[in-house]
A and B are shown apart, each in its own frame.
Chain A
Amino acid sequence: AQSVTQLDSQVPVFEEAPVELRCNYSSSVSVYLFWYVQYPNQGLQLLLKYLSGSTLVKGINGFEAEFNKSQTSFHLRKPSVHISDTAEYFCALSGNTPLVFGKGTRLSVIA
């Protein structure tokens, strides 16, 4: 079975500080990995994806993530957050099945 674990349910951070949202996964087969962002009462928007190739993936809004196969991790990072980054973030994987999601991390940016 495949699963995704987001290690922090809530992450508060001051504006302009760096942030890391942690994601670990479990799968017996090769997977694709994704990070999505959700603003209140809206659908999910893709931030970035890892399909193959370079393990450092850059996405929209200044976010990046690093795929680490040995540690089965796909942590999301941003060097300097803004108030507008306040949202819920979901890590997800897909193999030969539909996307499996973690439970989400609520990022709160404090002015």
Chain B
Amino acid sequence: DGGITQSPKYLFRKEGQNVTLSCEQNLNHDAMYWYRQDPGQGLRLIYYSQIVNDFQKGDIAEGYSVSREKKESFPLTVTSAQKNPTAFYLCASSIPKGPMNTEAFFGQGTRLTVV
């Protein structure tokens, strides 16, 4: 079955440590996204990539980094510079329709907790 796989589902990190969240898709989508979800805040865009080897910052990119070496993969690293990393992280992908972005398909999320 085609879809987006995020791993792990739950992740615990000590303060000061970097951690990498995995996102893999087999939908053959060009565009991939990382969103952060906090209670009552909706989803906020961290980074996105429209094509391999290229990515752009979203609204809350500080303290995060990404890479896009393969079409299928878009890992997110939460660095020690992120002051409040405890959150639910969602990866998504989509197919651009001309200059527009159509619906995004989401993974099941990774819940990161700093201990």
Contact = CB atoms under 8 A, between A and B. Distances in A.
Interface of A: 9, 30, 32, 34, 36, 41-46, 49, 51, 90, 94-104
B106 A44 contact: yes
B109 A49 contact: no
Given A41-B109, A43-B108, A34 B103 contact: yes
Nearest to A96: B99
Contacts, number: 69
Interface residues of B, number: 30
Interface string B44-74: 1100100000000010000000000000000
A51 B102 contact: yes
Contacts of B111: 41
Name A's interface SS.
Answer: loop
B42 A104 contact: yes
Interface of B: 4, 6, 31, 33, 35, 40-45, 48, 58, 88, 90, 92, 94, 97, 99-109, 111
Name B's interface SS.
Answer: strand
B100 A94 contact: yes
A78 to B, nearest CB: 20
A103 B109 contact: no
Interface core residue of B4, B58, B106 (most chain A CB under 10 Å): B106
Given A98-B48, A103-B40, A104-B42, A42 B108 contact: yes
B43 A9 contact: no
A94 B102 contact: yes
Contacts of A104: 40, 42
Given A99-B45, A102-B42, 7 more contacts: A32-B100, A41-B88, A49-B103, A96-B99, A98-B33, A99-B92, A101-B42
